[in-house]
């Protein structure tokens, strides 16, 4: 039994068409894209075609796309590149409390270098307040980095408004759009974004490839050293099969934008309504904010989230907690903590993220599995009020 996969925010399967596009570059078409012979030229042509497709997905020019090893490297390159490349003794960065660790830990690394960082809080709905961002600006602010859509909640940040503030203040704006790409239309010009991160494996391409949009004119200090690849912005022999895959995935995502988000939104809403109707003491996190259509984050009070994930997995449903296991202790998710959930509710929250292959039958099967599984865990829980409330 393959089971039902509701964890697309963790990773997506490689689309069959994406696999078909990349396979020749793992076998016959193996040239190094920097070689001048025909083997190399073939690889180069494929890389540049992919660059056009990725650029088109975000409304950029091909020359503004840098291929990387994934979302994490894109975030690192954007943030470290801009801040380390900026002039001045004092430097200040503004970010949010709910960023992915690829952004948060990079900001912490900068703090160790003496850079000041403001971590903006979010509302209970999981959205930052643009007015607070404006107030956080200082004379030496060099970068604002705020994600487009949150990976745990799906909440969408007001990037266009932040873009106007950044432009007025003449501060660079980076956004981690890893969870937004393919789910929302993206136009870097309309949004006023200067740098934008993408990841292949969140977009039905393989793991280990990503892209960073860098507005032409942005001064990006080099973060690794080697050859002159990617216009001197990211050295290293190009991952040609991965890049070809990302290009095809971007093309497919653009084609799906008109209908797939609507389809997923309807499935997600059906799932959330079903859970709320069938299981007491549940609530949807981030529901009061605009969200990407595939993500549902639900608190099942009195349940230990990790236990629920394991119990559901045994019954064939894959989902996740936002919690990250660090140093043997399970820390509550920094995102759920930031929206004000107390630790016991943060530990009782699960993320269900739907994707391209999911159907209404998957949602209904998940809705059949969940109530008895939650009820069983609540019976075992010392936290649950007795008798367990069944609506």
Q: Report the nearest approach of ligand PLP to the CB of residue 226 (Å).
A: 20
Of residues 178, 220, 312, 346, which one binds ligand PLP by CB under 6 A?
Answer: 178
| Side-chain-side CA neighbours of residue 148 (13 Å) | 28
107 contacts 145 by C-beta, under 8 angstroms: yes
Interface pick for ligand PLP out of 126, 154, 210, 293 (rule CB under 6 A): 210
Distance CA 391, CA 388 (A): 10
CA-derived radius of gyration, the chain: 22
Q: Binders of ligand PLP among 283-302, rule CB under 6 A?
A: none
104 binds ligand PLP (CB under 6 A): no
Query: For ligand PLP, which is the closer residue by CB, 213 or 302?
Result: 213
What's the rounded Cα separation, in Å, for the pair 284 and 119? 25
CA-to-CA dists, residue 47 to 32, 199, 228, 274, angstroms: 11, 16, 15, 45
Total residues at the site for ligand PLP (CB under 6 A)? Answer: 15
Among 12, 106, 155, 199, binds ligand PLP (CB under 6 A): 199
Q: Does 202 bind ligand PLP (CB under 6 A)?
A: yes
179 binds ligand PLP (CB under 6 A): yes
Determine the residue with CB nearest ligand PLP: 71
Q: 124 with 152: CB under 8 angstroms?
A: no
Would you count residue 174 as binding ligand PLP (CB under 6 A)?
A: no
Q: Is 80 in the site for ligand PLP (CB under 6 A)?
A: no
Report residue 42 as tokens: 């073939």
Q: Considering the complex, what minimum distance in angstroms separates the CB of residue 273 from ligand PLP?
A: 26
For 147, phi then psi, to 5°, come to -70, 155
Round to whole Å and give the CA distance between 110 and 196: 19
At residue 119's C-alpha, the angle toward residues 118 and 122, to 5°, is 135
Q: Per CB under 6 A, does 71 bind ligand PLP?
A: yes
Q: In terms of CB distance, is 41 or 108 closer to ligand PLP? A: 108
What DSSP state is assigned to residue 64?
G
Shortest Å, Cβ 258 to ligand PLP: 24
Cβ atoms of 102 and 75 within 8 Å: the answer is yes
Assess contact for 203 and 260: CB atoms under 8 A: no
**What angle do helix axes 240-256 and 38-58 make, rounded to 10 degrees?**
30
CA torsion, ordered 375, 379, 380, 384, to nearest 10 deg: 100
Site membership for ligand PLP, residue 373 (CB under 6 A): no
In total, the chain counts a number of residues equal to: 391
Question: Which one is catalytic: 131, 266, 325, 383?
Answer: 325
Out of 21, 22, 93, 102, the residue judged to bind ligand PLP by CB under 6 A: 102
The binder of ligand PLP chosen from 80, 147, 341, 366 (CB under 6 A): 147
Shortest spacing between CB 194 and ligand PLP, in angstroms = 18
Give min distance, CB of 362 to ligand PLP, in A: 22
Q: How far is the CB of 297 from ligand PLP (least distance, A)?
A: 13
Q: The tokens of 251 are what?
A: 């093309």
Any contact of residue 176 with ligand PLP (CB under 6 A)?
yes
Verify whether residue 319 is a known catalytic residue.
Answer: no
Nearer of residues 86 and 198 to ligand PLP, judged by Cβ: 198
Asked if 72 interacts with ligand PLP (CB under 6 A), we say yes
User: Of all helices (H) and strands (E), which one includes residue 213?
Assistant: strand 210-214
Q: How far is the CB of 69 from ligand PLP (least distance, A)?
A: 7
Binding-site member from 76, 145, 151, 295 for ligand PLP (CB under 6 A):
151
- The answer to whether the beta carbons of residues 206 and 14 sit under 8 Å apart is yes
Contacting residues toward ligand PLP, per CB under 6 A: 70-72, 75, 100, 102, 147, 151, 176, 178-179, 199, 201-202, 210
Question: Which residues are designated catalytic?
Answer: 325
């Amino acid at each position: 039994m393959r089971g039902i996969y509701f964890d697309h925010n963790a990773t997506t399967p490689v689309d069959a068409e994406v696999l078909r596009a990349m396979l020749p570059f793992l076998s016959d078409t193996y040239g190094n894209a920097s070689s001048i012979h025909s083997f190399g030229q073939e690889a180069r042509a494929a890389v540049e075609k992919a660059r056009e497709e990725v650029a088109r997905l975000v409304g950029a020019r091909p020359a503004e796309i840098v291929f990387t090893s994934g979302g994490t490297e894109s975030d690192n390159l954007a943030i470290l590149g801009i801040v380390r490349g900026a002039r001045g003794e004092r430097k200040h960065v503004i970010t949010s409390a709910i960023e992915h660790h690829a952004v948060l830990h990079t900001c912490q690394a900068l703090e160790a270098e003496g850079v000041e960082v403001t971590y903006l809080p979010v509302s209970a709905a999981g959205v930052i307040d643009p007015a607070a961002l404006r107030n956080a600006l200082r004379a030496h602010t060099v970068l604002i980095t705020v994600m487009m859509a949150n990976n745990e909640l799906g909440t969408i940040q007001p990037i266009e408004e932040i873009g106007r503030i950044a432009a007025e203040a003449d501060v660079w704006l980076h956004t981690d759009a890893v969870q937004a790409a393919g789910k929302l239309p993206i136009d870097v010009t309309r949004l006023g974004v200067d740098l934008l991160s993408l990841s292949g494996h969140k977009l039905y391409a393989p793991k280990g490839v990503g892209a960073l949009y860098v507005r032409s004119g942005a001064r990006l200090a080099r973060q690794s050293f080697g050859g002159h690849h990617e216009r001197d912005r990211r050295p290293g022999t190009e991952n040609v099969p991965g890049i070809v895959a990302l290009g095809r995935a971007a093309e497919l995502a653009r084609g799906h934008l008109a209908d797939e988000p609507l389809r997923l939104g309807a499935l997600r809403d059906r799932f959330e309504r079903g859970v709320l109707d069938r299981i007491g003491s549940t609530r949807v996190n981030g529901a009061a904010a605009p969200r990407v259509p595939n993500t549902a984050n639900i608190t099942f009070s009195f349940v230990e989230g990790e236990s629920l994930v394991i119990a559901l997995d045994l019954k064939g449903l894959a989902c996740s907690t936002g919690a990250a296991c660090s140093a043997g202790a399970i820390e509550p998710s920094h995102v759920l903590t930031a929206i004000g959930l107390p630790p016991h509710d943060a530990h009782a929250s699960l993320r269900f993220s739907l994707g391209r292959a999911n159907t209404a039958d998957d949602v209904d099967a998940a809705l059949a599995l969940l109530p008895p599984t939650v009820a069983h865990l609540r019976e075992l829980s010392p936290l649950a009020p007795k008798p367990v409330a069944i609506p």
